[in-house]
């Protein structure tokens, strides 16, 4: 956390209507080959790396604030939207599913959501309502984006909205245990 104690992970609400809709803080815009992260010390966007392959992020990518996962980071989220969203933008996102992923031997779930205020996607309520090719693109991106780094990523399951809600609730409980009830 930064020296002044303010960090989007800790100081932005996870949302008003959890787990149906969440606030997503975008780190990487759709179409980017750059992997950005919020630097936990400075709160600035840091270029982690340029992707090693020719793939680009298939959706706006970020995290849900005030969540915590086994990889010591907040819960990741992909937000489908008709526009590329600037880093550090908060999007109200309607949760539609979750992708169970294992990255280098660690569980690394990705919540899949649609931008609540984008009429081109906000009618979607569950993964099975997406155009079939959309999820294929997302899965293929995560299978391929680390291949040239010689790191293994496995997509274990694509699960619907009910299971995604459970993953969000668990990550909020883990956050509370780690950061609020730390006694």
The response to whether 70 counts as a known ligand-binding position is no
The response to whether 61 counts as a known ligand-binding position is yes
* CB neighbour class for 112 (10 Å; exposed up to 12, middle 13-18, buried from 19): buried
Give the end-to-end CA distance of the chain in Å, rounded to a whole number. 19
CATH topology for the 8-175 domain: Inorganic Pyrophosphatase (3.90.80)
100-147 pLDDT, tens digit per residue, is 999 888 899 999 999 999 999 999 999 999 998 999 999 999 988 888
The response to whether 57 counts as a known ligand-binding position is no
Sketch the domain layout of the chain as residue ranges. 8-175
The response to whether 46 counts as a known ligand-binding position is no
137-169 pLDDT, tens digit per residue, is 999 999 888 887 888 889 989 999 999 999 999
The response to whether 35 counts as a known ligand-binding position is yes
Percent of the chain whose pLDDT exceeds 70: 96
The response to whether 49 counts as a known ligand-binding position is yes
């Amino acid at each position: 956390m930064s020296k002044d104690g303010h960090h989007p992970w800790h100081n932005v609400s996870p949302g008003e209507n959890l787990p149906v809709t969440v606030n997503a803080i975008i780190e990487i815009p759709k179409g980017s080959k750059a992997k950005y992260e919020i630097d936990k010390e400075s709160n600035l966007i840091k270029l982690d790396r340029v992707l090693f392959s020719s793939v680009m992020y298939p959706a706006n990518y970020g995290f849900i604030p005030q969540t915590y996962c086994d990889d010591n980071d907040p819960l990741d989220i992909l937000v489908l939207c008709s526009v590329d969203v600037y880093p550090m933008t908060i999007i109200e996102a309607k949760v539609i599913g979750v992708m169970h992923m294992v990255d280098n031997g660690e569980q690394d779930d990705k919540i899949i959501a649609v931008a609540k205020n984008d009429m081109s996607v906000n009618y979607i309520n569950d993964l099975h309502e997406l155009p079939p090719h959309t999820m294929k693109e997302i899965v293929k991106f995560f299978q391929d984006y680390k291949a040239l780094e010689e790191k293994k990523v496995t997509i274990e399951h694509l699960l619907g909205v009910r299971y995604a809600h459970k993953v969000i609730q668990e990550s909020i409980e883990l956050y509370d245990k780690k950061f609020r009830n730390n006694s």
